[in-house]
Structure 1
């Protein structure tokens, strides 16, 4: 059994404004493991796409609740679940094909799952028509050694005294 380093679970209304909330929450959650800017942007984008899918396709913009659940294991693996109890997906395999959309071509690009797959290490989608969808995503973060730095005040005092 993997030891958890941290975990969160939050529920929010399925409205478009809360897609931004999900991005901010996942970014703050990841701050403790010091991701690179690229890693952070990848996860934020994948979470944003999953939340947007829940709002637009899961609930068809009629409201409901979205659950964001995330864990970071002691060995640096992030697991994120985005869960809705909306209409579900009839054919998950088809829905995951690039450019597939249930909207009109002018409304949606059909790239949400493709972005999630590209930005995360693994993606799994479970769905039941009439019950909802759970998007599971994983990303591993390498352990980074802290950079040794001098405190600013100490460095300023040290340099003023003429010592190097």
Structure 2
């Protein structure tokens, strides 16, 4: 079988599913034998992206669906977190550090900044009323390669 290995996960837009998503993606990525730091980075960006979908995309409505696709192609992991929620009016402003639309919730406004710092590339496609798709790519430096 050729081509990248992949998985797709869909779940209700409930806060309690964020931890499940993080662990499921981490388990899938583990086949690359990442370092603990790389695995922590992956779990963190999944948590940030899923939380954004739940809190901002669906405003904590539990009737939405969050979809995660993870693929492995060689030493590269591509993660996509997608919702069909509210969408983002201005993606560039939303990506600025400390920007938040929910200051009353004591949100830090650092979600996109964290994703950008932990991943090699991050792209965000969104439109008001149509949802948001965040795609992140990271090259995994396998522990096996470190010891050879």
Give your verdict on TM over 0.5: yes
Q: Is 2:12 the counterpart of 1:13?
A: yes
Higher relative contact order (CA 8 A, sep 6+): 2
Aligned to 2:70: 70
Secondary structure of the residue aligned to 1:41 is helix
What 5-or-longer segments of structure 2 have no aligned partner?
none
CA distances 1:139-158 after superposition (whole Å, capped 9, x unpaired): 0013534969xxxxxxxxxx
Tell me which stretches of 4 or more aligned residues in structure 1 moved more than 2 Å: 142-148
5 Å-filtered alignment, 1:124-143, equals: 124-143=123-142
Give the superposed CA RMSD.
1.7
5 Å-filtered alignment, 1:122-161, equals: 122-143=121-142, 144-145=144-145
Bigger radius of gyration: 1
CA distances 1:83-135 after superposition (whole Å, capped 9, x unpaired): 00000000000000000000125521100000000111100000011010000
Q: TM-score, normalised by structure 1?
A: 0.84
Asked whether the 8 Å contact 2:35–2:141 carries over to 1, the reply is no
Count of aligned residue pairs for this structure pair: 145
Q: TM-score, normalised by structure 2?
A: 0.92
What 5-or-longer segments of structure 1 have no aligned partner?
149-164
